[in-house]
Structure formats: C-alpha cells, structure tokens
C-alpha cells in the first residue's frame, strides 16, 4: 500500500470549514483513499473513501486531485466535537488491511 504524508497538526475556528490535506504521490491505480478519525479515548471511526471522483456524505467531502497524488478532506462546518486525529490511508481494492500513519491532529477552537 502506498504511503501518505499529512501535516502533524492543524487548527480551525468553530463554524468554519476544516480542510485537511494528504499527499499520496505513489498511489497506484487500484488503491483507494480512506479517511478515519479518532476522538480522544475512542477507537477510530470511518469517515469517507474514494477512488478518483470527489465524494460527499453526511460527515465530510473528499476531493481527490486529477492525478490522484493528493486529496483533501473537508469538514464544511467544524464543531468542537470534530477535534480529533484524522488519518488518511491508501488501501488496495481487495483485502481489508488498513495501515495507519500518525495522522493530523485537528483542533477546533471556539
């Protein structure tokens, strides 16, 4: 599975959009981009995933560049409860193995 690079930490004002970047320059054609988050003292929680098209669900939007070498997770209206570690993971289509990096600590501030 391809490696990902994320900033160590980010701050965001409450009510504003949080844009979390992820670089995955070695991603191959059969690999998806997944995002999980982990709130303090909880297990990771699935957010969204995509292959090459932009995706949106009730939690977030995922924007993948045309060359697929990077992506951005967007939380449209961040709340204090969105403070968490956000993991960007690249995974092959088949199999269910997730390889987590250190992730990005997002701090939403009032």
Where does this chain bind another protein (CB under 8 A)?
Answer: 32, 34, 41-46, 49, 51, 85, 87, 91, 93-103
What DSSP string runs through 63-80?
Answer: EE-TTSSEEEEEETT--G
Structure tokens that stand for 6 in this block: 């994320």
Smallest separation (angstroms) from another protein to the CB of 66: 20
The answer to whether residues 62 and 56 touch, using CB atoms and an 8 Å cutoff, is yes
Smallest separation (angstroms) from another protein to the CB of 14: 25
Smallest separation (angstroms) from another protein to the CB of 100: 3
Radius of gyration, CA atoms only, the chain: 13
Q: Give whichever of 13 and 39 is closer to another protein, judged by the CB atom.
A: 39
């Amino acid at each position: 599975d391809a490696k990902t690079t994320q900033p160590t930490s980010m701050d965001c004002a409450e009510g504003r959009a949080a844009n979390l970047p992820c670089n995955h320059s070695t991603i191959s054609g059969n690999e998806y981009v997944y995002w999980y988050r982990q709130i303090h003292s909880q297990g990771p929680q699935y957010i969204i995933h995509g292959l090459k098209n932009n995706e949106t669900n009730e939690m977030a939007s995922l924007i993948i560049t045309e060359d697929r070498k990077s992506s951005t997770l967007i939380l449209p209206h961040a709340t204090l409860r969105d403070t968490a570690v956000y993991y960007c993971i690249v995974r092959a289509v088949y199999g269910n193995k997730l390889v987590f990096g250190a992730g990005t600590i997002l701090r939403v501030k009032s």
